[in-house]
Amino acid sequence: MKKQVDLRSLTIKELEELVVELSEKRFRGKQIFEWIYKGIEDIEEMTNISKKFRNKLKEVSYLKNMDILKVLKSKNDGNRKYLFLLKDGNVIESVLMRYKYGNSVCVSTQVGCKMGCSFCASTIDGMVRNLTAGEIIGQILSISKDIGEKISNVVLMGSGEPLDNYDEVLKFLEIINHPSGLNISMRNITLSTCGIVPKILDLAERKLQLTLAISLHAPNDEIRNKIMPINKVYNMDKLLKACKKYIKITNRRITFEYSLIKGVNDKIEHAFELSRRLKGMLCHVNLIPLNEIKEKNYTTSNQDRVIEFQKILKEKGINATIRREIGSDIDAACGQLRKNYIDKIK
């Protein structure tokens, strides 16, 4: 029997091709696309399509591609953390963040991650597989259905390295941006990467209006090599050169993420060194107090140091903000909820 296709993984063009293959009129493809992004989870609900064709569609495809396993609701801020069960038994997590300007979902792009950053829970058990575009979209659709509200912003900052799953991530972006679907503006999307230089350069050429965030977390190669193994492949010179090129081509400001780890990358001299490296770039530094994970004995910098670090960057002309902690009562460290769940069933 032929493998069923995940309708959430298809662009309008691919849906049109599918319906034509099933001897239906091309315009049915767009109708199906619109149904998917109205948030239905059952092909039966596509009421402007004949029963006969719905049955045919059900034979070759499916719509719902994940189930909610667990929802953790923060008592502090209305944010939620979701654990999803995929069709093949893998488990992934996503986060809903509620802001004044709308709802934002932080999606995972891989099951686990192979990049090995020393402070990150997502990578402890390695990478199992890439997620499909439909599985990345499924996280947004499932959360939107669960809360009965629209999602206006998306950040690719859950488990996984988006640029290591480049084709599916590009497809995901194309689908959620489509006006007949979720219509999420590129300007409301942030893609975060540990720094895969060739893909950053490729992305630049596509001139998408999204925000590129770079997980920098160090002012020099010595520290970055220790905490982010990708730096041994693309060192800071190569990475920052690619960032400058990205800015030149897209004219978009880059965000540098910098998690402050006590005694590792949070010294006063590091703030000065970082400001020298970033001088003159159209950029913004997001200082993030480290989310401590039980598997590592890193600790987060104290509040005074975070503020001092920011002050130095600002004095040196580097735009810097401190990210507020999100749902610290709901296991906020990325990958931690999934890891705890897997450890429990093991």
Integer CA distances (angstroms), 73 to 21, 139, 331, 332, 342, in order: 44, 16, 10, 11, 20
Q: Segment 253-272, which members bind ligand SAM (CB under 6 A)?
A: 257, 259
Buried/exposed code over 59-98 (b: 16+ C-beta within 10 A; e: otherwise): eebbbbbbeeeeebebeebebbbbbbebeeebbbbbbbbe
Q: Segment 81-120, which members bind ligand SF4 (CB under 6 A)?
A: 113, 115, 117, 120
- Residue 120 labeled ligand binder: yes
Rg over alpha carbons for the chain, rounded to the nearest Å, is 21
Q: Which of 74, 123, 275, 286 binds ligand SF4 (CB under 6 A)?
A: 123
What whole-number distance in Å separates Cα of residue 45 and Cα of residue 47? 5
Helices (H), 179-327: 197-206, 221-227, 236-250, 268-278, 303-315
What are residue 345's phi and psi, to 5 degrees? -75, -20
What whole-number distance in Å separates Cα of residue 188 and Cα of residue 260? 26
Contact between 246 and 204 under an 8 Å Cβ cutoff? The reply is: yes
**Residue 193: strand pairing partners:** 214
Closer residue to ligand SAM (CB): 103 or 259 = 259
Q: Indicate whether 161 belongs to the interface with ligand SAM (CB under 6 A).
A: yes
**Window contacting ligand SAM (CB under 6 A); options: 27-35, 39-47, 190-198, 219-227:** 190-198
Helices (H), 152-292: 166-177, 197-206, 221-227, 236-250, 268-278
Closer residue to ligand SF4 (CB): 177 or 215 = 215
Among the listed residues 16, 93, 168, 257, the single catalytic one is 93
CB of 323 to ligand SAM, least distance (A): 9
Q: Indicate whether 290 belongs to the interface with ligand SAM (CB under 6 A).
A: yes
From residue 40 to residue 59, the character string flagging contacts with ligand SAM as x (rule: CB under 6 A) and all else as - is --------------------
Q: Indicate whether 290 belongs to the interface with ligand SF4 (CB under 6 A).
A: no
Would you call 44 a catalytic residue per the annotation? no
Would you call 334 a catalytic residue per the annotation? yes
Q: Indicate whether 165 belongs to the interface with ligand SF4 (CB under 6 A).
A: no
Closer residue to ligand SF4 (CB): 29 or 160 = 160
Q: Indicate whether 293 belongs to the interface with ligand SAM (CB under 6 A).
A: yes
What residues are annotated to the active site?
93, 334
Residues that bind ligand SAM (CB under 6 A): 119-120, 122, 157, 161, 192-194, 215, 217, 257, 259, 288, 290-291, 293, 333-334
